[in-house]
Homo-oligomer: A and B are copies of this chain.
């Protein structure tokens, strides 16, 4: 029991073991070139032997960066965010940062709490999903002067630096595809748009595009469904079981579209002959469903990666020049859309 000290292996323990001063140990880590090779070797050996692990919290107290980046998402659970989180995480990891992750369940007040929590940990930056945030959140970010960015949604008028896609355009593209195929009676299934600017933008631009072509969407052609295959399926069944059915269903995202597809099948309708279905997102798996889902592709992985790279650059550079990146959208026509009957 004598030689085995408890977990208090700190830089001075290492220094003692290597018979040098703590400063030298510190320098070995931070400015190796200032330390003679021989000393460095001694120290490395001591570090090995004692199993010393650097304490970033202590470093941080010297104005050093914490090496963490906070990401606040509505939810981790959905395919689409999972993909961005993964890509973002990988990208910042590459730059030596670690991810602090929090989710708020589409509640902007909880988002504020989460951002605050992350700031208590002195993250070097905080990334949020979307452009709509509470005033308190914005104030907090400005006040703390913490680098912040928005992911997922692009808008040129955005306050925060952002990397994402233009969700308004996404909605418009989906609508136009249906319009081009001759659909005039279109059903809409969207998630709740409160606190969700992505859905909001998509829905309003769909409505706008439809309007421009003289197509209106009556109340009974609109349905709300959360991000859930099962509930979207139900919503689709409701929309599709009336006597005068819409000839197409435009869905707020691919998960909903997948549910809609199952719903249509359940109603004995052929897709796309009897009813066309289009989603937005192009999630993993959307290509593999039978028939393949027609959708507007949002490059989640690209967005996540790019966001991670740009953000770490932004944080580590001293210039702090703003950035706003728009990632391209792509119409992916597969098997679920066809000409209107």
Closest Cβ–Cβ distance, residue A228 to chain B (whole Å): 8
B98 close to A229 (CB less than 8 A): no
Cα–Cα, bound, A332→B89 (Å): 34
Residues of B within 8 A of A99 (CB): 100-102
**Pick the contact of A103 from B66, B89, B140, B289 — CB < 8 Å?**
B89
Find residues 267-305 in chain A having any chain B CB closer than 8 Å to their own CB: 284-285, 287-290
B57 close to A66 (CB less than 8 A): yes
- A119 within 8 Å of B (CB atoms): yes
A100 close to B100 (CB less than 8 A): yes
Size band of the interface chain A makes with B: 35 or more
A68 close to B121 (CB less than 8 A): yes
Residues of B within 8 A of A66 (CB): 57, 121
Known: A98-B102, A100-B98, A262-B290. A122 touches B85 (CB 8 A): no
Q: 1/0 per position for A236-270, CB-CB distance to B under 8 A?
A: 00000000000000000000001100100110000
- A164 within 8 Å of B (CB atoms): no
For this complex, 25 residue pairs linking A to B, each with C-beta atoms less than 8 Å apart, are A6-B145, A51-B143, A53-B116, A53-B144, A55-B122, A56-B121, A56-B122, A57-B58, A57-B66, A76-B85, A76-B86, A77-B82, A79-B82, A82-B82, A89-B103, A98-B118, A99-B102, A100-B100, A101-B101, A229-B288, A258-B285, A258-B288, A259-B288, A265-B290, A266-B290
